[in-house]
Amino acid sequence: MITLSSIHESVVGGAASFESTLEKQLGTITSGARINAFISVTADRARESARRADLELAQSGGRIPASKPLLGIPVAIKDNLQWAGSRTTCASKMLQEYVSPFTATAVMRLEAAGAVIVGKTNLDEFAMGGSGEHSAFGPTLNPADESRVAGGSSSGSAAAVAAGMVPVALGSDTGGSIRLPASFCGIVGLKPGYGRVSRFGLVAFASSLDQVGPMGATVSDVEKVYRVIEGHDPLDSTSIAVRAPIEHKGPAGLRVGIPAEFFAEGLDPGVRASVERALARLKEQGAVLVPISLPNVHHSVACYYVIAVAEASSNLSRFDGVRFGSRTDAARSASSLEEFYCENRSLFGREVKRRILLGTFVLSSGYHDAYYGRACQVRELIRQDFSSAFSKVDLIASPVAPAPAFKIGEHSQSPLQMYLNDLYTIPANLAGLPALSVPVEPHSSGLPVGLQLMAASGGEDLLLAVGRTLEVTR
């Protein structure tokens, strides 16, 4: 893997230029095409940006301007984020020819900071999946073991970083879609708290859960990207106007909550061992490990898969071939409106159809209160569990996933088994909390393992500070 700082050191030191660095990274993308990390590579636009970056560096006397902390850095963006003039497919046949007329705020901030966008990365269709297998453009392979999944839904962004194609990338996280692939691929991934990063220009899956965040080779690189993309955006009504950071401490005296529910039956022994060794190192540095309970988190998966599918059903209703989306030849010759919709919405993949049907059901007359209404009540109980826990501890630590990356196709016939991979990541989304995945010692099989750290709202600085400590000592 490459890092943001290594690129800047090389270019500022005169060993390379941003343009030559880009060409090297484009070569890595080409040679690693079998991994299927990218849906589209925007080489010509990237070359123009790299040339401008070299010119800006020369004009600033060979120093990286403070206003351009990402100057010349190759960055990839998940293909559910709008970027004017490029295709935004969401890895779906429904949007395979759609060209964005505008740019997402997070992407706009990357460009303003000098980043060189090299392309759009693969994902589970409309970000619905935890493995990277549900893409109309084929699955993403895990660079750590190409027979295994890269995790999802931000599979391409994670694989691109892990394979050394880019030092950093943007993903989105609705129920673990940044943290899970980060863990499976052995990189760092941050899900900011809800509202910390603008969702304007992110194609919505579940609007009350979605969050844009950075992925990178190191905590330092992830932090630099986060500083660029965070902050209030008037174009996003859910964006938080006032930033109230939690004081970030070193490990000494830090109270780290260890929830019993996250270390229970079903956790792979090798994952448990890797996570516990990382926690032991925190303890050696002065952290206090505090046993806690989150009594309602065992409802998280059921709660999430009511709320998320309900919001997905509502959000995806616009992709009908009339207002938005492609139109099939069969739909064009349909003899009725019903036939038109049936033909056209066949463009959706199997997993997306499953979630639309589930979501439509839980919102239907007679079932709304029984399912969606109750799920919202349970969500509030989960929020209260976290609020109570954070009155006693500074952070909460857990595995990111119950097992390492599984074989491609291993869970293809078992949607429930696939959904259970998000068991430890979903609660942070339901509660709107920031969470970080940091690589720890590998599994006994050699596969990557991630430690998840969760903080109270506003705790991104604390997460990153502790993440850096773990990174130094791992």
78 is annotated as an active-site residue: yes
Write down the catalytic residue from 153, 155, 157, 300: 153
pLDDT number for residue 331: 86
pLDDT in tens, 5-38: 999 999 999 999 999 999 999 999 999 999 999 9
Q: How far apart are CA 42 and CA 26, in angstroms?
A: 10
Q: Provide the sign of the torsion angle of the four alpha carbons 92, 96, 98, 100, taken in this order.
A: positive
Q: Is residue 315 part of a domain?
A: no
Beta bridge partners of 149: 141
State the residue range of the domain holding 185. 4-229
Cα separation, 5 vs 11, in Å, equals 10
Q: How many CA atoms does the CB half-sphere of 79 hold within 13 Å?
A: 37
Got the DSSP string for 362-387? HHSTTTTIIIIIHHHHHHHHHHHHHH
Token digits of residue 162: 């892990």
Q: Is residue 346 part of a domain?
A: no
Chain-centroid distance of CA 181 in Å reads: 8
Residue 207 falls in the annotated catalytic set: no
Residue 88, domain CATH: 3.90.1300.10
Please identify which of the residues 135, 177, 274, 457 carries the catalytic annotation: 177
Over the range 378-416, which residues count as b (16 or more CB within 10 Å of their CB) and which as e?
A: bbeebbebbeebbeebbbbbbbbbbbbbbebebbeeeee
Q: Is 46 inside any structural domain?
A: yes
Active-site residue, selected from the candidate residues 17, 49, 78, 120:
78
Query: Who contacts 435 (Cβ-Cβ below 8 Å, separation ≥6)?
Result: 179, 190, 191, 425, 428, 452, 453, 454, 455, 463
Residue 177 annotated as catalytic: yes
Peptide bond into 274 cis (omega under 30): no
pLDDT in tens, 165-223: 999 999 999 999 999 999 999 999 999 999 999 999 999 999 999 999 999 999 999 99
Given this model, what pLDDT does residue 66 score?
A: 96
Sequence letter at residue 40? S
Rg from Cα positions in the chain: 21
Give DSSP secondary structure letters for 63-118.
S--TT-TTTT-EEEEETTB--TTSB--TT-GGGTT-B-SS--HHHHHHHHTT-EEE
**pLDDT tens track for 311-322:** 999 999 999 888
For residue 77, give Cα distances in angstroms to 93, 192, 202. 19, 16, 11
Domain membership of residue 312 (yes or no) is no
- Residue at 249 is within a domain: no
Quick check: helix, strand or coil at residue 120?
A: strand
Give residue 370's Cα distance to chain centre. Answer: 31
Q: In this predicted model, what pLDDT tens digit does every residue of 97-146 receive, in sequence order?
A: 999 999 999 999 999 999 999 999 999 999 999 999 999 999 999 999 99
In the structure, what pLDDT confidence band is assigned to residue 161 with cuts at 50, 70 and 90? very high
- pLDDT at position 415 over 90: no
What tokens were used for 389? 């826990």
The answer to whether residue 197 is domain-embedded is: yes
Query: How far apart are alpha carbons 161 and 156 in whole angstroms?
Result: 9
The bridge status of strand 288-292 relative to strand 188-191 is unpaired
* 112 belongs to a structural domain: yes
Per-residue HEC secondary structure of 274-330 comes to: HHHHHHHHHHHCCCEEEEECCCCHHHHHHHHHHHHHHHHHHHHHHECCCCECCCCHH
pLDDT classification of 340: cutoffs 50, 70, 90 = very high
Per-residue pLDDT, 474: 44
Output the pLDDT for position 365: 84
CA quadruple 162, 164, 167, 173: dihedral sign = negative
Q: Could you tell me if 274 and 441 are in contact, meaning their C-beta atoms sit under 8 angstroms apart?
A: yes
How many structural domains comprise the chain? 1
The verdict on residue 53 lying in a domain is yes
